[in-house]
């Protein structure tokens, strides 16, 4: 298929825009015609001269700077240096019909995952019935024996779930990963909308876009819904590892917007299986902790004895039902990328329903046939460690060197349980302004949705985080790997 362009469409800052053959462009069809739900936005952008657009782009950066929206990149020479989060002004737009499908799908998926987590730490019936191999769960590095027999308030374990989706060249959405430990990035969703409104407020007058600004209130309501029974209003806090954590901006943002304290481990202590916060007025009991510290560090008495970030005795208070933790420790056993391949069966087992959202076929390297296939077809696959996040450790076969593939083959052979592989999916492209080129180009994009589960409460933020691989041809969209983001619009109708 040859490149196709539509001269009438490609004016102003879109001049020279290419439709890449073989990929789904979310703004233009294969004939180069703008899709109906993008027409108003595109018409507005076509009116901008390059100078006008660059001025708006700088205003957006100033908005992010003033909001303090930063992140840390660990993959380059400036290791750990805080940077302004890259943001693209051209929004991603999702139709009401598509969103309804996605919303139902992520709720179904995360409700089933919650039931799965409850089961593997209690009756283990799904393992006894042979639906999911027991050895797969018990060999997970995130399976927490400290959680055995614990039933939290409302039987909710994954209160906050991040579901990563892509739109394939067939026009269908596929789930790429589940994130049910401490999924990050939701603060960027709100900051993107704020920057967009400050920079291009006129666009919102012409579109009926669903709001994302109620997320902090919804999260606080979820926290309060799972508070231990008490006659008093529950005290909720956000627990952070501290200012040197790459997501510290998000921790402080969420605490501020929910109007609750941001604390570190040294601010809390446990006495008689109750958790207290140190205040200038004396100890104050804490009921709910939204913890942004990994399991391994959260309680030195239950996990890593050398941790100075956690609270000694926290798991004892949790086991007694005197404090609630979001998310529950041990949820990582369910977002293990090898367990991901069983989620369709998990949905059918607990809910008796067919999955609404598609899975990507997954090769588990611990299986002999899959292992052999992966080693023989690595150039055609994406290989991932099962227990990493943030895009670390991923090898995209088509973009790799022979040396990188040979090195990974040795690593897989040494620890087959640790790796899975998937076909290289054709992530959709979206028009994105590339500053060094001074023009819009297609870049690969994904979507992370955020689902909240509480006691008799469910909520999905209307849109989520659209992440963009800013490097041409790259399929890795994670901000920790140098990716950027867009404001995601869900149309009301």
- pLDDT tens-digit profile of 3-59? 445 545 566 778 788 888 888 999 998 888 899 999 999 888 888 888 888 898 888
Please say whether the beta carbons of 211 and 462 come within 8 A.
yes
Portion of the chain with pLDDT greater than 90, in percent: 72
Contact, 457 vs 51, CB < 8 A? no
The pLDDT of residue 373 is above 80 = yes
Whether the pLDDT of residue 301 is over 90: the answer is yes
Residues 6+ apart with CB under 8 A from 312: 269, 270, 299, 300, 301
Q: What would be the CATH architecture of the domain defined by 365-423?
A: 2-Layer Sandwich (3.30)
* Architecture label for domain 97-159+206-338: 3-Layer(aba) Sandwich (3.40)
Q: What is the pTM of this model?
A: 0.91
Tell me the percentage of the chain whose pLDDT exceeds 70: 94
The DSSP letter of residue 169 is T
Tell me the torsion sign for CA atoms 119, 234, 231, 285.
positive
Q: Which residue has the tokens 């927490």?
A: 144
pLDDT band of 80, cuts 50, 70, 90: low
Q: pLDDT of 173-214, one tens digit each? A: 999 999 999 899 999 999 999 989 988 888 898 889 999 999
Q: What are 421-443's pLDDT values in tens digits? A: 999 988 999 999 998 888 899 99
Q: Do 97-159+206-338 and 365-423 share a fold?
A: no
For the chain, domain boundaries: 97-159+206-338, 365-423
Tell me, what's the pLDDT at 246? Answer: 82
Residue with tokens 């076929």: 361
Residue 161: what pLDDT?
A: 98
The beta-strand segments (E) located in 284-377 are 284-285, 288-291, 324-326, 358-359, 363-364
Q: What is the pLDDT of residues 234-281, one digit of tens each?
A: 999 999 999 988 889 899 999 999 999 999 999 999 999 999 999 999
- pLDDT (mean) for 222-226: 98
Position 76 pLDDT exceeds 60: no
The number of helix segments (H) and strand segments (E) in the chain equals: 14, 22
């Amino acid at each position: 298929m040859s490149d196709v362009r539509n001269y009438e469409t490609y004016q102003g800052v879109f001049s020279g825009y290419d439709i890449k053959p073989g990929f789904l462009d979310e703004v233009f069809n294969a004939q180069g015609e703008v899709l109906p739900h993008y027409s108003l936005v595109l018409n507005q952008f076509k009116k901008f001269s390059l100078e006008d657009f660059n001025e708006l782009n700088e205003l957006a950066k100033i908005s992010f700077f003033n909001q303090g929206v930063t992140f840390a990149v660990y993959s380059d020479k400036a290791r750990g240096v805080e940077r302004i989060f890259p943001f693209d002004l051209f929004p991603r737009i999702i139709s009401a019909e598509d969103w309804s499908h996605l919303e139902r799908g992520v709720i179904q998926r995360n409700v089933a995952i919650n039931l799965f987590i409850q089961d593997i730490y209690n009756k283990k019936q799904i393992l006894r019935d042979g639906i999911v191999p027991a050895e797969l769960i018990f060999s997970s590095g995130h399976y927490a024996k400290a959680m055995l027999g614990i039933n939290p308030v409302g039987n909710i374990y994954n209160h906050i779930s991040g579901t990563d989706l892509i739109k394939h060249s067939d026009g269908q959405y596929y789930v790429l990963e589940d994130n049910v430990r401490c999924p990050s990035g939701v603060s960027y969703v709100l900051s993107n909308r704020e920057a967009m409104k400050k920079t291009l407020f006129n666009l919102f007058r012409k579109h009926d876009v669903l709001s994302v600004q109620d997320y902090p209130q919804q999260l606080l309501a979820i926290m309060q819904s799972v508070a231990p029974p008490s006659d008093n209003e529950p005290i909720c806090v956000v627990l952070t590892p501290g200012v040197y954590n790459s997501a510290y901006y998000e921790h402080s943002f969420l605490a501020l917007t929910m109007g609750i304290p941001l604390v570190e481990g040294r601010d809390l202590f446990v006495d008689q299986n109750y958790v207290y916060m140190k205040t200038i007025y004396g100890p104050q009991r804490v009921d709910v902790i939204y913890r942004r510290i990994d399991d391994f560090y959260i309680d030195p008495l239950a996990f890593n004895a050398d941790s100075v970030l956690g609270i000694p005795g926290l798991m004892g208070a949790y086991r007694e039902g005197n404090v609630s933790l979001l998310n529950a420790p041990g949820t990582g056993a369910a977002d293990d990328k090898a367990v991901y391949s069983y989620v369709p069966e998990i949905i059918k087992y607990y809910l008796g329903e067919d999955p609404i959202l598609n899975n990507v076929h997954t090769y588990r390297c611990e299986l002999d046939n899959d292992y052999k296939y992966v080693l023989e077809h690595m150039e055609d696959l994406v290989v991932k460690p099962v227990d990493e996040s943030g895009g670390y450790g991923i090898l995209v076969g088509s973009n790799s060197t022979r040396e990188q593939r040979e090195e990974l083959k040795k690593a897989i052979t040494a620890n087959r349980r640790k790796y899975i592989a998937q076909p290289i999916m054709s992530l959709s492209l979206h028009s994105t302004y590339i500053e060094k080129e001074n023009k819009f180009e297609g870049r690969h994009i994904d979507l992370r949705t955020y689902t909240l589960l509480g006691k008799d409460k469910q909520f999905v933020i209307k849109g989520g985080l659209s992440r963009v691989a800013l490097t041409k041809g790259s399929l890795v969209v994670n901000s920790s790997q140098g990716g950027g983001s867009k404001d995601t619009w869900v149309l009301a109708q």
